[in-house]
């Protein structure tokens, strides 16, 4: 296998067949997309996530997810990966998720060169006609900037959640049996939110359509400008007290994050938007934003995860935080803002829910067109 030694030499591989098969598949996908000698940042991401896979021993579950999602794709059945699984670059390489969690970047499908863009919040917002300086090929713009540590760093008993169309329950259940998977449990989610659930091998299938803010009949296109305009219209109608300026796809996701968030008092949010004219993508709208804020201000990954987890659940800052540097930084408003947070949603769930709804209602997967158009 080409490129195999770059990981094997460091002793990152165990000796089981399942382990080896998964590792081989990951490297094949990585070589195909980013070349035999990928950018060092990409290689580091794969190595770091592989260590997590080793620690949690999720080899079999991931291979099963590969087979399951491949079958879903073959039959054009839309789905979305929910919770922390959609933050993984390895799951993206395996075709399990649709979200490339790397920072925004261009990459050449021919020579595999990569150009990072530190100023963008989302690869979808990057220029679409940029040509590779090496061979003139039109480069692909991608990347949603999702740090895997904000989701996977401290999870030892990991479950993968999929949302599926409610009308596909019987077909999926039969399909699992045809795949030789018989250790399945089925039940209704709860008396108040009734939808069917299938559980097997740490994979939990929810047969429901996540709530979407936009009026479903108006979602008939997968181009970026349509989504931005829909969000702009929705903001004007439903949150007239917020002078929101939605100009990019990143703004759309952050605005949806604001709508899903919960605050004890939203006056600070209004001030940031109406008085200081912050764009949605410049705010702390999702838990990943907060994690990155802590890392940018010198916190270790472990500390950033702990602080982010506290705030996103409404537990507020620890008494000995924030640091003096945070109190004097340009973005010191985050300190006061987070005091009112009771809940922050996941950016990955928002993106997956948005496109899952579009796919369910239009039978079109928007990811490819949004990235390549």
Q: Residues 6 or more apart from 58 whose CB is under 8 A from it?
A: 158, 202
Query: Coil, strand or helix: which one is 107?
Result: strand
Residues 88-130 have pLDDT tens digits of 999 999 999 888 999 999 999 999 999 999 889 999 999 888 9
**pLDDT over threshold 90, residue 198:** yes
- Looking at residue 212, its pLDDT comes to 57
226 membership: H or E segment, kind and range: helix 224-238
311 with 341: CB under 8 angstroms?
Answer: yes
Residues 248-297 have pLDDT tens digits of 999 999 999 999 999 888 899 999 999 999 999 999 999 999 999 999 99
Most confident of 271-275, 305-309, 314-318, 321-325: 271-275
Higher pLDDT pick, 11 / 310: 310
- Looking at residue 306, its pLDDT comes to 87
**Of the candidates 293, 212, 306, which has an alpha carbon nearest to the alpha carbon of residue 260?**
212
- Looking at residue 213, its pLDDT comes to 55
The average confidence (pLDDT) of the chain is 83
Higher pLDDT pick, 171 / 217: 171
**pLDDT over threshold 70, residue 366:** no
Q: For 127, phi and psi rounded to 5 degrees?
A: -60, 140
**pLDDT over threshold 60, residue 54:** yes
Return the structure tokens found at 318.
């620890």
Rounded CA-CA distance 271/76 in Å is 45
Q: Which residues pair with 138 in a beta bridge?
A: 131
Lowest mean pLDDT among 100-114, 307-321, 323-337, 341-355: 307-321
**pLDDT over threshold 70, residue 211:** no
Rounded CA-CA distance 55/226 in Å is 43
- Looking at residue 226, its pLDDT comes to 79
DSSP 296-318: HTT--HHHHHHHHHHHHTT----
Q: CA torsion angle for 262, 265, 269, 272 (degrees, to 10)?
A: -160
Return the structure tokens found at 347.
């950016």
Rounded CA-CA distance 80/228 in Å is 21
Q: CA torsion angle for 282, 285, 287, 288 (degrees, to 10)?
A: -30
User: Quick one: average pLDDT of 320-326?
Assistant: 76
**pLDDT over threshold 50, residue 26:** yes
Q: How crowded is residue 317: how many other Cβ atoms within 10 Å of its Cβ?
A: 15
User: Quick one: average pLDDT of 146-173?
Assistant: 82
Residues 174-195 have pLDDT tens digits of 989 888 888 889 988 766 667 8
User: Quick one: average pLDDT of 217-230?
Assistant: 64
**Of the candidates 300, 26, 21, 197, which has an alpha carbon nearest to the alpha carbon of residue 6?**
26
Rounded CA-CA distance 149/108 in Å is 27
Handedness of CA 316, 210, 163, 23 (dihedral sign): negative
What does the domain layout of the chain look like in residue ranges? 5-102+144-208, 216-350
What is the pTM for the complete model shown?
0.85
| Percent of residues, the chain, with pLDDT higher than 70 | 84
326 with 344: CB under 8 angstroms?
Answer: no
């Amino acid at each position: 296998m080409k490129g195999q030694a770059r990981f094997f030499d460091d002793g990152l591989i165990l000796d089981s067949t399942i382990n080896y098969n998964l590792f081989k598949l990951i490297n094949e996908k990585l070589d195909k997309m980013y070349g035999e000698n990928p950018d060092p940042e990409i290689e580091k991401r794969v190595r770091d996530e592989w260590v997590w896979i080793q620690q949690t021993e999720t080899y079999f579950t991931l291979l099963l997810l590969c087979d399951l999602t491949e079958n879903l794709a073959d039959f054009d059945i839309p789905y979305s990966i929910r919770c922390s699984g959609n933050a993984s670059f390895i799951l993206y390489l395996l075709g399990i998720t649709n979200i490339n969690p790397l920072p925004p970047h261009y990459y050449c499908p021919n020579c595999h060169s990569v150009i990072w863009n530190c100023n963008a919040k989302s690869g979808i917002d990057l220029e679409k006609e940029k040509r590779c300086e090496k061979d003139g090929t039109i480069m692909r713009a991608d990347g949603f900037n999702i740090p895997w540590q904000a989701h996977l760093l401290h999870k030892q008993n990991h479950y993968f959640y999929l949302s599926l169309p409610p009308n596909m329950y019987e077909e999926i259940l039969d399909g699992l049996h045809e795949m030789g998977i018989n250790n399945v449990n089925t039940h209704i989610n709860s008396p108040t939110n009734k939808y069917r659930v299938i559980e097997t091998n740490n994979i939990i299938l929810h047969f429901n359509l996540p709530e979407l803010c936009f009026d479903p009949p108006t979602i008939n296109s997968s181009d970026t400008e349509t989504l931005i305009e829909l969000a702009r219209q929705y903001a004007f109608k439903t949150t007239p007290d917020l002078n929101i300026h939605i100009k990019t796809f990143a703004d759309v996701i952050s605005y949806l994050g604001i709508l899903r968030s919960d605050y004890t008092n939203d006056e600070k949010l209004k001030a940031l938007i109406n008085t200081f004219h912050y764009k949605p993508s410049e705010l702390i709208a999702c838990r990943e934003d907060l994690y990155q804020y802590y890392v940018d201000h010198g916190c270790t990954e472990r500390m950033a995860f702990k602080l982010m987890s506290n705030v996103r659940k409404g537990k507020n800052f620890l008494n000995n935080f924030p640091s003096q540097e945070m109190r004097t930084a340009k973005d010191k408003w985050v300190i006061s803002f987070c005091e009112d947070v009771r809940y922050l949603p996941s950016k990955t769930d928002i993106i997956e829910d948005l496109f899952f709804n579009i796919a369910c209602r239009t039978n079109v997967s928007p990811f490819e067109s949004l990235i390549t158009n």
